[in-house]
Structure 1
Amino acid sequence: MDSKIRNYYANNHLYSRKMIMPATSEKFKNSCQECKYYVEVVGHHETRKVCLVEVKAYQKRHKRVPANIEIMDLILLLGKEKLESLLGKGGQHLMACGEFEERI
């Protein structure tokens, strides 16, 4: 390595020998629970939380994302197969995905 490059990395605080890890609160700043796309789906017998980020009508803002939605409305909007795939993906994650938008 050239001495100029070595001195640059030695003097630069980002590349120095000390490495400071971020606090956990900085690393996991947003969770699915706080996202506007994570809504309650109300069925006949139970209520589940589902992420609606893959639904194009909500993603492109053609429709407002509700706080809770009836399952029949989702079946009409998506179809049975797409709804089953959304319900099968699982629930809340510790760290939100890249499409996170805070609930207002």
Structure 2
Amino acid sequence: MANIHDYYRKNFLYESHRLMLPELRDKVSHTCSQCKYMFLIVGKTESRPGCAALIPQYAGLAKRVPGKLDVTEVLRLVGKEGLERVLAGFEPQRQACGMFHPASVKKDGF
């Protein structure tokens, strides 16, 4: 009988106490701040980061996600409730979601 400890050590799907598919490894090892969907929402007095994956126009990457977007444009696209979801959807240290795409270049200091 083979040693069970060696079986888990040699199994490429086993990642420290849990089984993981290789394509999910990117989503687990990255954070929201490394995502292509991250953009800056600019208002009158403050700027906040948001998640463009929650805006239908940018969700499928049919249009390039801008580095900065005015708050009035976001309100026009998704409304007040949508703006709240876009702002709540981004947390820099949170684990990446299912819509994660790695950003090729850092945008605007993030």
- TM-score normalised over the length of structure 1: 0.69
Aligned residues: 93
Cα 1:59–1:12 change in 2 (3 A) is same
Stretches of structure 1 that go unaligned for 5 or more consecutive residues are 1-6
Closer, same or farther in 2 for the Cα pair 1:86/1:14, shift >3 Å? same
Question: Could you say if the C-alpha distance between residues 77 and 13 of structure 1 is closer, same or farther in structure 2, counting changes exceeding 3 Å?
Answer: same
Structure with bigger gyration radius: 1
Query: TM-score, normalised on structure 2?
Result: 0.66
In the aligned structure 1, how far is the partner of 2:54 from the partner of 2:5? Answer: 46
- Name stretches of at least 5 consecutive residues in structure 2 with no aligned partner: 18-24, 105-110
Over the matched positions of the two proteins, sequence identity in percent amounts to 27
In structure 2, the CA distance between the partners of 1:51 and 1:60, relative to structure 1 (3 Å rule), is: same
The equivalences for 1:1-104 within 5 A come to 7=1, 10=4, 13-14=7-8, 21=16, 29-89=29-89, 91-104=91-104
Q: What RMSD, in angstroms, separates the aligned Cα atoms of the two structures?
A: 3.2
Separation (CA, whole Å) in 2 of partners of 1:43 and 1:20:
43
Give 3-state SS (helix, strand or coil) of 2:98's partner: coil
Structure 1: 4+ residue segments shifted above 6 A: none
CA displacement at 1:87 relative to structure 2? 2.3
Aligned 8 A contact 1:39 1:66 in 2: yes
